[in-house]
Amino acid sequence: MHKKNTQILSSEEHDLDQAATLLLAGQLVAFPTETVYGLGADARQGQAVAAVYEAKGRPSFNPLIAHLPSIDAAQRYVQWSAQAQTLADAFWPGPLTLVLPLRQDHGISPLVTAGLDTLAVRIPAHPTAHKLLALVDGPVAAPSANPSGRISPTTAAHVSAGLNGRIAAIVDDGACGVGLESTIVGLATPQPILLRPGGLAAEEIEAVLGHPLMQRDAHDALTAPGQLLSHYAPNEQVRLNAMQAKAGELMLGFGAMACDLNLSEAGDLAEAAANLFGHLHQLDALNKPIAVAPVPTHGLGVAINDRLHRAAAPRN
Ligand code: TXA
Ligand code: MG
């Protein structure tokens, strides 16, 4: 791939105009959302979407989320349902992605869905993301803006470290507030199913639905293609549920304890989620194995533990 000069843009209006113009011209633009930075491409342009896979080095069977500015916009591409409306009313805009059957004449590149007959849609809550999506006025496919398999980016500097020279621009608007990717709920099956734990706790979704979500079988490749186990991986080994660091290890703590960096001294899961990827990036830069303290397994802790297990999994 030939090197590009990656422009850094601000969240000012004229810079967002420029970002929208680049996207509509089929270029790749990274932008902040409340979860993580996304690597955006116009979802209707096959070449632009192909460039996303190329820039990330992403396996082509892993489908992308279409980002939209409003429910109305989402309804143009997917078959809406009463359940979709209930969840959208409760949680959109926000860190929730819904997988729904594609509509006829949707105009979405098949590279976005990796050939599936469903589409993942999300309306981010971040004001800059919202402004940019409104300017584009079309679906923007956006995976997390990191090389495939590496730690997700929660700042523009993380994006730049992984993708500088491979994409047209980065919209820099500070650190992401949630810090974990969106929770993905499948609504294309008779029962709503949790496809990926994320920045919205499953308990909150279940409270609105009035019943538990189906859990996806870890071995069922069909419902969530490409959810590779080794993902979000630092360069060095990661050891979980460690009470303290061994010689030569760096310690990522949770709760009051001795450590190199702490996800949340107060033991607050939302704070830990927001810090997770940034702290992993920082420790990873020191090129030593990382020991991680136990994190509770309820609420946002489910998604935090999911990402930690992937970081610690044998590499593939
Ligand atoms: O918070 C987020 O969701 C971020 C920001 C940028 O919005 N995006 C993100 O995208 O995490 P990505 O590409 O890293 O993860 C998308 C996940 C993948 O695991 C993929 O398998 C799943 O969504 N996915 C996408 N379309 C799907 C579909 N039609 N059916 C099932 N899973 C799907
Ligand atoms: Mg990702």
Query: pLDDT tens digits, residue range 226-251?
Result: 455 556 678 889 999 999 999 999 99
Percent of the chain with pLDDT over 90: 84
CA of 149 to the centre of ligand 2 (A): 7
CA separation for the pair 286, 248 (Å, rounded): 11
Give the model's confidence band at 164: pLDDT under 50 very low, under 70 low, under 90 confident, else very high.
very high
Q: Is there an atom of ligand 1 within 6 Å of 262 CB? A: no
Q: Which residues lie at CB < 5 A from ion ligand 2?
A: 144
Please report where in the chains the tokens 């500097």 appear, as a residue. 157
pLDDT at 61: 65
What CA–CA distance (Å, rounded) separates 186 from 118?
Answer: 9
Going by C-beta distance under 8 Å and a sequence separation of 6 or more, which residues neighbour residue 33? 67, 124, 125, 126, 129, 142, 176
How far is 122 from 65, CA to CA, in rounded Å? 7
pLDDT at res. 233: 78
For residues 56-83, average pLDDT: 92
Residue 305 pLDDT > 80: yes
The number of beta carbons lying within 10 Å of the beta carbon of residue 184 is 22
Is residue 196 lining ligand 1, measured as CB closer than 6 Å? Answer: yes
Most confident region among 6-10, 61-65, 111-115 by mean pLDDT: 6-10
The Å distance, Cα 247 to ligand 2 centre, comes to 32
Assess whether pLDDT exceeds 80 at residue 219: no
- State residue 225's pLDDT score: 40
Tell me what pLDDT residue 222 has. 44
Point out the ligand 1 atom lying closest to the alpha carbon of residue 227: 19
Question: What one-character DSSP code corresponds to residue 191?
Answer: S
Alpha helix ranges (H) inside 6-118: 13-24, 46-56, 71-75, 82-91, 110-113
pLDDT at 234: 85
C-alpha 16 – ligand 1 centre gap (Å): 24
- Ligand 1 in reach of 35 Cβ (< 6 A): yes
pLDDT at residue 211 is higher than 70: yes
Instruction: Round to whole Å and give the CA distance between 220 and 189.
Output: 14
Least confident of 22-26, 51-55, 216-220: 216-220
Listed range (16-25, 44-53, 65-74, 172-181) with the worst mean pLDDT: 44-53
How remote is the CA of residue 245 from the centroid of ligand 1, in Å?
A: 33
Stretch among 100-104, 160-164, 228-232, 253-257 having the lowest mean pLDDT: 228-232
Q: Is 176 in the pocket of ligand 1 (CB under 6 A)?
A: no
Q: With 50 as the cut, is the pLDDT of residue 30 above it?
A: yes
Distance 63 CA to ligand 1 centre (A): 7
